[in-house]
C-alpha cells in the first residue's frame, strides 16, 4: 500500500485531534506505521488555534486538551510549521505567504481544519469605531497575532453586546471582572493595563428571543451571576414566567438562575449588567467622533416569538444610548478558501470528504471541525467529529485491510449512501499519488532557516519561557507577541541565515 502523507491546514483542536487519532490507530508497532507522515501548517506562529486564542483566560481547565496534543506532537511522524499562510489573503503581516498550489505537490492527502475565522456582521450595524465584532475583542485580550487595537475602555462607560451566546458572556465577564482577579490567569500585561484604566460601568447583553432560546450555557450564566463586583439588573417578570411550559434540563437550570438573580443584589454594586430579551437592532446612530463625548444611539425593534420560535417584530421600538456595540453573531469560514460553499458558510463536505461544485468527491481531500460543519459545538463534539474524519481517511486509504477504526455511525453510513447517489465513485484529482515522504515546499524550508517559520520545538521553548515569566509574576503565563518570540528563539536556537 502507498504511503499516506497528510498535510493538515490549520493547527487548532480539530487538526490535532485528527492527527492524534491517526497516530494512535497506526502506532509504531503497526505494519503501516512507517507509511504515515503528518505535517500541520498554521498561519499563527503558535499551535492550538482557538484553545490559545479563543478560550477565555479565566477558563484554564478548557486548555487541558493540549496535553493530548503534545503527546501527538512528540511522535516523530508529525511536524508543525507555524507562521505559514496558505492560500487565503494573509490577515497577519509577518506570515510566510504560500499558494495552496505550492503545497499540493508534496502530499498525497490534505485535510482542511481551518475553522471559521470570519465574524458574521449584522446588516444594520456596519463596523466603525463605535461598533466592532466580538472576535476583535477576544483577539485583543488573547493577544492574537492579528493584533487588533484595544478598545478605548477609559472613555467607555456603557457597552452593548449583540447576541446571547457564550462568547458574549465571555466578553462581558472580562469587562466586569476586577483586573486583580484576572491577573492570576493567562491575561497579558498590556491587556491588564487597559482593563485597569477601564471606565465600563454597565454591559447590556441583547438577544432577539427570550431566555428559553438563549445560546449561553448554564455554566457561563452562573459565572456572570457570581461576578464579585457587579450585579444583574432585574429582568421583566413576564419573561421569567414559564408555568405550563415543558422545559429541558438546561432550560430549567437557566430559569432557576435567572429567577434567583445575581449574588450581588441590584443597587449594591457600582458595575451592573443586564440581559435584554426580545430586542433586535435596526440601526445605530453615531456621533462624529468619540472625542465629542456623545453616545451612540442604538435602535432596537421589540420582538416576540411566532409559532416556530422565530423572532418577529411587534411594531414597537426603543433606543439605547451606548458607547460601544460589540456584535457576537457567529462566524463563517474564509470565503476564498478552496471548495467554500456560500450557502453553507463553510466548506462543502460529505462524511468528511470535500466535494466540489459539481458534486464530485475531491480525492484524498478532507475537512474537519468548523471548516466542515460551521461554527457550532464545543471541544467534545469537535473531538468526535475529528475522530470520525480520521477513521474515514484510513478506510479510504486502506480499503479492506486490517486497520482498526470505530464502526461507522448511522450518519456516516447515510453520508456514504448519499455519496453514491451523487455519482458513486466519481472523483476529481488535485493531489499526486506518490511523493517524497520527508520533503516540504522549499519556501517552508527557507523560512525555517530564517526563523520566520516555527516548528514544535520552537513552540515548546516559547511555552516554557512564557510559563517561567508568568511564575515570576504570580500568574499562569506571560504571553509573547511574535516579535518577542522570534527574538527569544534567535537567542536560544540560532539559525543559519
Q: Is 125 annotated as a binding residue?
A: no
Task: Go through the chain and tell me how many residues it has.
Answer: 497
Q: Is 164 annotated as a binding residue?
A: yes
Strands (E) in 55-145, as ranges, are: 78-82, 84-86, 96-98, 109-112, 118-119, 131-133
Q: Is 86 annotated as a binding residue?
A: yes
Q: Is 377 annotated as a binding residue?
A: yes
Q: What is the pLDDT of residue 419?
A: 47
Residue spans of the domains in the chain: they are 4-117+332-454, 121-327
Q: Is 6 annotated as a binding residue?
A: no
Q: Is 370 annotated as a binding residue?
A: yes
DSSP for 194-262 reads: HHHT----EEEEE-SS-TTT--S-HHHHHHHHT-TTEEEPPPPHHHH--TT----HHHHHHHHHHHH--
Report the phi/psi class of residue 143: left, alpha or beta, with left for phi > 0 and alpha for psi in -120 to 50. Answer: left
**Strand pairing report for 427-428 and 361-367:** parallel
CA 8 to CA 3: how far, in whole Å? 16
Q: Is 50 annotated as a binding residue?
A: yes
The 3-state DSSP class for residue 469 equals helix
Strands (E) in 53-181, as ranges, are: 78-82, 84-86, 96-98, 109-112, 118-119, 131-133, 158-162
The third-level CATH classification (topology) of the domain covering 4-117+332-454 is: Rossmann fold (3.40.50)
- Please give the grid coordinates belonging to residue 328: 457576537
- Asked whether 482 and 146 are in contact (CB, 8 A), the reply is no
Query: First vs last Cα of the chain: how many Å apart?
Result: 40
Q: Is 166 annotated as a binding residue?
A: yes
Of 153, 244, 166, 259, nearest in space to 207 by CA: 166
Residues 6+ apart with CB under 8 A from 299: 281, 282, 283, 284, 285, 317, 318, 319
- Asked whether 274 and 202 are in contact (CB, 8 A), the reply is yes
- Asked whether 267 and 172 are in contact (CB, 8 A), the reply is no
List the pLDDT tens digit at each of the 497 positions of the chain.
Answer: 789 999 999 999 999 999 999 999 999 999 989 999 999 999 999 999 999 999 999 999 999 999 999 999 999 999 999 999 999 888 899 999 999 999 999 999 999 999 999 999 999 999 999 999 999 999 999 999 999 999 999 999 999 999 999 999 999 999 999 999 999 999 999 999 999 999 999 999 999 999 999 999 999 999 999 999 999 999 999 999 998 889 999 999 999 999 999 999 999 999 999 999 999 999 999 998 888 889 999 999 999 999 999 999 999 999 999 999 999 999 999 999 999 999 999 999 999 999 999 999 999 999 999 999 999 888 999 999 999 999 999 999 998 765 666 555 555 555 555 444 444 558 999 999 999 999 999 999 999 999 999 999 999 999 999 999 999 999 999 999 999 999 999 999 765 44
Is the domain spanning 121-327 CATH 3.50.50.60? The answer is: yes
Amino acid at each position: 500500500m502507498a504511503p499516506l502523507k497528510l498535510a493538515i491546514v490549520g493547527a487548532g483542536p480539530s487538526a490535532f485531534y485528527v492527527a492524534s487519532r491517526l497516530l494512535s490507530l497506526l502506532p509504531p508497532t503497526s505494519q503501516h506505521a512507517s507509511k504515515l507522515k503528518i505535517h500541520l501548517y498554521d498561519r499563527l506562529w503558535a499551535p492550538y488555534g482557538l484553545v490559545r486564542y479563543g478560550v477565555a483566560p479565566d477558563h484554564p481547565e478548557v486548555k487541558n486538551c493540549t496535553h493530548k496534543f503534545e503527546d501527538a506532537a512528540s511522535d516523530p511522524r508529525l511536524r508543525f510549521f507555524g507562521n505559514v499562510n496558505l492560500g487565503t489573503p494573509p490577515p497577519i503581516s509577518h506570515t510566510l505567504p504560500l499558494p495552496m498550489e505550492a503545497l499540493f505537490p508534496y502530499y498525497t492527502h490534505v485535510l482542511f481544519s481551518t475553522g471559521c475565522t470570519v465574524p458574521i456582521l449584522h446588516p444594520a450595524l456596519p463596523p466603525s469605531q463605535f461598533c466592532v465584532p466580538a472576535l476583535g475583542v477576544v483577539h485583543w485580550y488573547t493577544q492574537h497575532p492579528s493584533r487588533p487595537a484595544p478598545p478605548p475602555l477609559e472613555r467607555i462607560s456603557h457597552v452593548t453586546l449583540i447576541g446571547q451566546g457564550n462568547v458574549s458572556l465571555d466578553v462581558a465577564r472580562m469587562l466586569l471582572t476586577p483586573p486583580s482577579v484576572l491577573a492570576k490567569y493567562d491575561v497579558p500585561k498590556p491587556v491588564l493595563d487597559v482593563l485597569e484604566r477601564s471606565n465600563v460601568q454597565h454591559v447590556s447583553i441583547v438577544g432577539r428571543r427570550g431566555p428559553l432560546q438563549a445560546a449561553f450555557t448554564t455554566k457561563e450564566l452562573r459565572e456572570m451571576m457570581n461576578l464579585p463586583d457587579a450585579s444583574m439588573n432585574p429582568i421583566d417578570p413576564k419573561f421569567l414566567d414559564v408555568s405550563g411550559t415543558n422545559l429541558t434540563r438546561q432550560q430549567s437550570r437557566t430559569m432557576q438562575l435567572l429567577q434567583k438573580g445575581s449574588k450581588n443584589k441590584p443597587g449594591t454594586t457600582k458595575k451592573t449588567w443586564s440581559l435584554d430579551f426580545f430586542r433586535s437592532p435596526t440601526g445605530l446612530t453615531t456621533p462624529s467622533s468619540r472625542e465629542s463625548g456623545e453616545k451612540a444611539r442604538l435602535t432596537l425593534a421589540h420582538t416576540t416569538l411566532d409559532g416556530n420560535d422565530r423572532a418577529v417584530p411587534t411594531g414597537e421600538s426603543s433606543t439605547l444610548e451606548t458607547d460601544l456595540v460589540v456584535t457576537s453573531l457567529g462566524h463563517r469560514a474564509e470565503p476564498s478558501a478552496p471548495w467554500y460553499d456560500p450557502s453553507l458558510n463553510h466548506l462543502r463536505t460529505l462524511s468528511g470528504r470535500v466535494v466540489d461544485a459539481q458534486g464530485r468527491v475531491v480525492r484524498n481531500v478532507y475537512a474537519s471541525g468548523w471548516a466542515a460543519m460551521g461554527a457550532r459545538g464545543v471541544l467534545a463534539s469537535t473531538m468526535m467529529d475529528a475522530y470520525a474524519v480520521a477513521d474515514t481517511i484510513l478506510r479510504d486509504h486502506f480499503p479492506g485491510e486490517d486497520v482498526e477504526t470505530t464502526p461507522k455511525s448511522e450518519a456516516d453510513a447515510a453520508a456514504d449512501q448519499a455519496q453514491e447517489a451523487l455519482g458513486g465513485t466519481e472523483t476529481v484529482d488535485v493531489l499526486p499519488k506518490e511523493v517524497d515522504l520527508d520533503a516540504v515546499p522549499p519556501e517552508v524550508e527557507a523560512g525555517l532557516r530564517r526563523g520566520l517559520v516555527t516548528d514544535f520545538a520552537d513552540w515548546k521553548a516559547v511555552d516554557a519561557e512564557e510559563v517561567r515569566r508568568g511564575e515570576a509574576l504570580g500568574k499562569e503565563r506571560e504571553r509573547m507577541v511574535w516579535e518577542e518570540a522570534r527574538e527569544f528563539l534567535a537567542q536560544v536556537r540560532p539559525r543559519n541565515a
